[in-house]
Amino acid sequence: FKKRKKPLLQPPPGLGEKDIATQSSVCTGETLIGFRQPQTGRLLQAVVVRSEADRTAFYRAYGYEPPCQNP
Whether the per-residue pLDDT at 71 is higher than 60: the answer is no
Helix, coil or strand: residue 48: strand
Model confidence pTM above 0.85:
no
Residue extents of the structural domains in the chain = 19-61
Mean pLDDT value of segment 6-21: 93
Rg (C-alpha) for the chain, rounded Å, is 14
Binned at pLDDT 50, 70 and 90, residue 6 comes out as confident
Q: For the chain, what is the largest distance between any 2 Cα atoms, rounded to a whole number of angstroms?
A: 48
Whether the per-residue pLDDT at 66 is higher than 70: the answer is yes
Taking the CA atoms of residue 21, residue 52, residue 68 and residue 19 in that order, the dihedral angle to the nearest 10 degrees is -10
